Structure 1
Amino acid sequence: MSVRVSFPGGVVVNAEVAGHVVSTDQSVRHGGTDSAPPPFDLFLASIATCAGFYALRFCQKRNIDTQGLGVSLDAIRDPERKRVERVVIQVELPPEFPDKYRKAIVHAMDLCAVKRHILEPPEFEIEVATPAAQVNNQPEVEQRIQLL
């Protein structure tokens, strides 16, 4: 998978992935126009929507009515470290949801690929490509910085 980033103006940053464009912006307080969510909010939203997808598919595969199904995510921040210290995902079950599946739907949501990648993170590398090589669509790496 590849993501291409562009900068259409201001502090808006767009990401093109699989034929879709995802826009990000910053709040007015941080120099943006608040025209789109900031990247970190999209990161949290991707966790919630991934868990939501697994909950939805769980119900659909068992022909359980999804009317009333909902998922919410709360990110609890550590003000001293200025980072999220805990993420709580809640599933709101439909009124007729069978009790026998309560643990199973939680287990299904726990399989979310986004969450699994956080728990077992990949290596991150930042490479600097030379402009001349970019023209040939063959980036030459001047420098590689490995992030832990």
Structure 2
Amino acid sequence: MKYKLEKPVHGSIGTEKYQCTIEWRNGQFISDEPLSNGGTDSGPDPFTLLLSSLASCTLITLRMYIERKGLDIPSIAVNTNLYQSTKDGQLETIIDRDILFTSPVDEEVKTRLQQIADLCPVSKLLMNQVKVRTFIYKEGDTVTINYANENITVVWRPKFCQHSTRCWTQLPMVFKPNLKKWIDPDGAAPERIEEQVRRCPSGALDFKYNSPEDSKPDNN
């Protein structure tokens, strides 16, 4: 398992309706609900963000194809929208995507670009099986197992563990699920192990230096 993004999208909300601060790798923006849903419309709503993902991915994919084929198409536009209906007791979502050309384009080329649009990564994501997994950080007393060397200790709480895949795919030198003693504190530098432990979403892992001196950075 390898995440698509090196840094996850991070969202937070306070008490102001319903402004969410969304942080991505190179900045942040506000997402909000429209006035009709009790928000202040100070940023795109979640449905708009979803449709924006499809629109931008489509445009980028088409531009890449046009450049690769050397086509003379200076500008393209895309409209996206969705509607939902109930069919056989199941909620069905239909997303419509309209590709617009601002200059004359041969009909055969248009047909090919329509096919290429379906191959954009977000299109394929939306049209294939998608699972949403939700993890929550747990706290409280539970059984712990310590994995330690002279300098550091990694604390594991088995009952809290929900996502070990994240550990052993991202730092396999330390996290080895096929072994009974599956955490090797000698497998990587302490700083790298600490970084991975901090990514645990469920509270199953903790990290500590065995003495204050070990936690001080080496300036030599």
TM-score bucket of the superposed structures, by smaller chain:
0.7 to 0.9
CA distance in 1 between counterparts of 2:123 and 2:110 reads: 20
Are positions 1:7 and 2:5 aligned together?
no
Letter paired with 2:11: V
The structure whose residues are more often strand, as a share, is 1
Deviation at 1:74, TM superposition (A): 3.1
Alignment correspondent of 1:137 = 198
CA distance in 2 between counterparts of 1:63 and 1:117 reads: 28
Alignment correspondent of 1:99 = 107
Counting aligned pairs with the same residue, the percent is 17
Write out per-residue CA displacement over residues 92-140 of structure 1, whole angstroms, 9 at most, x where no aligned residue: 234342333222211211111112112223322111113699xx72536
Deviation at 1:12, TM superposition (A): 0.8
CA distance in 1 between counterparts of 2:68 and 2:199 reads: 44
Letter paired with 1:137: R
Letter paired with 1:104: R
CA distance in 1 between counterparts of 2:130 and 2:85 reads: 24
Question: Equivalent residue of 2:119, what SS?
Answer: coil
Structure 1: gaps of 5 or more residues: 143-148
**Runs of 4 or more above 4 Å deviation:** none
CA distance in 2 between counterparts of 1:73 and 1:39 reads: 14
Larger Rg: 2
- Aligned match for 1:108, one of 108, 111, 116: 116
TM-score by length of 1: 0.75
TM-score by length of 2: 0.53
What RMSD, in angstroms, separates the aligned Cα atoms of the two structures? 3.1
CA distance in 2 between counterparts of 1:130 and 1:78 reads: 37
User: Equivalences for 1:22-101 in 2 at 5 Å?
Assistant: 22-78=29-85, 85-101=93-109
Question: Equivalent residue of 2:71, what SS?
Answer: coil
Structure 2: gaps of 5 or more residues: 141-154, 156-196, 204-220
